[in-house]
Amino acid sequence: IAEVPASPETSQREQAGREIAARVATEAARRRAFAIIAHPDAGKTTLTEKLLLRGGAIQLAGQVRAKGDRRRTRSDWMKIEQDRGISVATSVMTFERDGVVFNLLDTPGHEDFSEDTYRTLTAVDAAVMVIDAAKGIEAQTRKLFEVCRLRDIPIITFINKMDRESRDVFELLDEIEKTLALDVAPVAWPVGAGRGFVGTYDLLEPGLHLMAEGSKAVRLSGLDDPKLDELVKPELAQELRDSAELAGAYQDFDHERFLEGTMTPVYFGSALRDFGIGHLLEGLAKFAPPPRDRPADSRTVTAAEPELTGFVFKIQANMDPNHRDRVAFLRICSGRLQKGMRLRQTRTGKAVPVNAPLFFFAQDRQVAEEAWPGDVVGIANHGILRIGDTLTEREGLNFSGVPSFAPEILRRVMIDDAMAGKKLRTALEQLAEEGVVQLFRPLDGTPPVVGVVGALQLDVLAARLVAEYGVKSRYEGTPWGLMRWVAADDKAAVERFRRSIPHDIAEDHDGALVAFFSSDWRRNRAAEDFPELRFLEVREQH
Ligand code: GDP
């Protein structure tokens, strides 16, 4: 039976569609979007630098073209951050190695972290947990780990600073297992310790990575290989044989369990001495997943789908002080992004032109011709895009899971110069959109209230108000220690509740109703008095 031939145009279009679909699948498969989580001082910055160096040319062949003027993108307010020696903003760094494209999303590392950190972790598919070998699991490591666990993000562990006096390896591994309830599977094993640390033994593919050899692996047939005794001092070889034997007590690395987030492969090294980084990168390439399926309200989106979808997880204003633009960071979840596309903003149904999607490198940004699942691009806009926004090629779906957390620090923002009131409102709105603070408008008409998760955010806000808007402000305390979003189907109950505490009610930036409470006791009372209402601590945007 002869097939009915398709018209030439149809078959051409189909052919083109198939080619795009194949490219999306290939490009998605070679991408790794990850973050580094660490307690301050564990070595995250040093490791990041060494990873970028290893990535060599920090430019993707054929994909980006340099902008005419390669102006610096660090804005004035980032100086605050430099002066303080802390990282307040989140940036994205892209590098390529052996055909794998790594997108490293930097998370603020200060103890006083903000919601930026949480949101960034919604945009990655894996994380590297850096642990200081002398300190083990620290407070911030645990907090960040818990956020990863909420989303079952697979974690690769890097035990850093092995060149210095460190804690006993078994003790460190046991601590990870116990405090994080996470099974460890060492894939490398240290040879020597402290000043006597010479390298690692590869437990998966037997061999030695030696510091002296620039960490290139020397393959061995196993721990019994007599070559081992030629490569390291006899007493070290013996010590390694004994301790690596005991390492067998830990479970074997199981890729499935790693992907589920219940097991972590463990690497050892020294970021400062540039040791162990190559091995870690190999692990990231081999084990960390390419862009994972993402749940949306109507269905689950798979990275290899040909149509573009993505969500905004971060907004940064005034990256370029000359232009006062606002850049939304879009994590691409599926399909191909092309320069010049018009995307659909699900929240409003409006079209968002993407004329110059930006790729970010350590210092520069460049216009991308196209981008793929797992990539993060910046879209300059004038306040149209919000954190949590889903953008698609056509379909009206919404990704879930970019959360807002109920702030615990609530302050009024006051100004002495009454003329600056309007300016202050605009500034606060823009900075709230960016996620610097949460902004609440009390329904009784009193001055705006800002809420933050960490006190550092208040300093950043005050500094940015002066630097970028010329508004000098001060904070005034409030009687409130907590807030909750108020949700209910029963409109009459909401109205009664509003009337019961007229001065403790406000609207958030999106117009959602919130209530302020002076204490937990008050909140409990409200919950008892108004059983029809729900008081939410976390709000998923849109
Ligand atoms: P971050 O706060 O996690 O970004 O940590 P940094 O990368 O800034 O490192 C904190 C300090 O530890 C710096 O003084 C680094 O030079 C030092 N450091 C980082 N990695 C190593 C390492 O592998 N060995 C040693 N001895 N020091 C390190």
Encode the chain (542 residues) as per-residue pLDDT tens digits. 556 666 777 788 888 888 889 999 999 999 999 999 999 899 998 898 888 777 753 433 223 333 333 333 333 334 434 443 333 334 678 888 889 999 999 776 555 556 777 788 999 999 999 999 999 999 889 888 988 888 889 999 999 999 999 999 999 999 999 999 999 999 999 999 999 999 999 999 999 999 887 667 899 999 999 999 999 999 999 999 999 989 889 999 999 999 999 999 999 999 999 999 999 999 999 999 999 999 999 999 999 999 999 999 988 765 555 556 678 889 999 999 998 999 999 999 999 998 877 766 544 556 778 899 999 988 888 778 888 899 999 999 999 767 777 888 999 999 988 888 999 999 999 888 877 889 999 999 999 999 987 787 888 899 889 988 899 999 999 999 999 999 988 999 999 999 999 999 999 988 899 999 999 999 999 999 999 999 998 776 64
Residue with tokens 């490569």, as numbered in its chain: 231
For the CA of 270, the closest atom of ligand 1 is 23
Give the residue, by CA position, lying nearest to ligand 1 atom 19: 43
- 110 annotated among ligand-binding-site residues: yes
For the CA of 47, the closest atom of ligand 1 is 7
pTM, entire model: 0.81
**Cα of 164 vs its chain's centroid, Å:** 29
- 325 annotated among ligand-binding-site residues: no
User: Encoding tokens for residue 216?
Assistant: 């290139």
Q: Ligand 1: which of 37, 39, 41 to mutate, judged by most atoms within 8 Å of the beta carbon?
A: 41
According to DSSP, residue 211 is labeled G
Q: Are 107 and 136 in contact (CB under 8 A)?
A: no
- 163 annotated among ligand-binding-site residues: yes
Taking the C-alpha atoms of residue 225 and residue 227, their distance in angstroms, rounded to an integer, is 5
- 416 annotated among ligand-binding-site residues: no
Pocket (CB within 6 angstroms of ligand 1)? 38, 40-46, 109, 160-161, 163-164, 270-272
Q: 427 CA to middle of ligand 1, Å?
A: 37
CA atoms within 13 A on the CB side of 490: 11
Question: Based on C-alpha coordinates, what's the Rg of the chain?
Answer: 26
Q: 268 CA to middle of ligand 1, Å?
A: 14
| Predicted pLDDT at 278 | 92
Give the residue, by CA position, lying nearest to ligand 1 atom 6: 43
What DSSP line would sit under 431-474, residue for residue? HHHTTSSEEEEETT-PPPEEEESSTHHHHHHHHHHHHHH----E
Q: 47 CA to middle of ligand 1, Å?
A: 8
Taking the C-alpha atoms of residue 191 and residue 212, their distance in angstroms, rounded to an integer, is 13
Burial of 316 (0-12, 13-18, 19+ CB in 10 A): buried
Taking the C-alpha atoms of residue 339 and residue 67, their distance in angstroms, rounded to an integer, is 14
User: Encoding tokens for residue 255?
Assistant: 């890729």
* Residue 538 β-bridge partners: 405
Give the residue, by CA position, lying nearest to ligand 1 atom 17: 43
Q: Is the ipTM of this complex over 0.95?
A: yes
Buried b (16+ CB within 10 A) or exposed e, 376-392: bbbbbbeebbbbbbbbb
Consecutive H or E run containing 379: strand 376-381
Beta strands in 177-232 (DSSP E): 183-186, 188-191, 199-202, 207-210, 217-219
Q: 43 CA to middle of ligand 1, Å?
A: 4
| Predicted pLDDT at 407 | 87
For the CA of 275, the closest atom of ligand 1 is 23
Q: 207 CA to middle of ligand 1, Å?
A: 27
Q: Ligand 1: which of 46, 128, 275 to mutate, judged by most atoms within 8 Å of the beta carbon?
A: 46
Phi first, then psi, for residue 449 (nearest 5°) are: -115, 135
- 160 annotated among ligand-binding-site residues: yes
158 Cβ partners below 8 Å, 6+ apart? 47, 128, 129, 130, 131, 266, 267, 268, 269, 276, 280
Q: 272 CA to middle of ligand 1, Å?
A: 6
Closest CA to 505 of 541, 462, 535: 535
Q: 46 CA to middle of ligand 1, Å?
A: 6
Q: 14 CA to middle of ligand 1, Å?
A: 53
CA 77, 82, 84, 89 torsion-angle sign: positive
Give the residue, by CA position, lying nearest to ligand 1 atom 16: 272
For the CA of 48, the closest atom of ligand 1 is 7
Q: Are 176 and 189 in contact (CB under 8 A)?
A: no
Residue at 488: amino acid letter: A
Length of the chain: 542
Characterize the bridge pairing of strands 217-219 and 207-210: antiparallel
CA torsion angle 476 479 482 488 (round to 10): -110
Q: Count other Cβ atoms within 10 Å, centred on residue 361.
A: 19
Taking the C-alpha atoms of residue 460 and residue 452, their distance in angstroms, rounded to an integer, is 11
Taking the C-alpha atoms of residue 401 and residue 124, their distance in angstroms, rounded to an integer, is 12
Taking the C-alpha atoms of residue 332 and residue 358, their distance in angstroms, rounded to an integer, is 13
CA torsion angle 413 415 420 421 (round to 10): 50
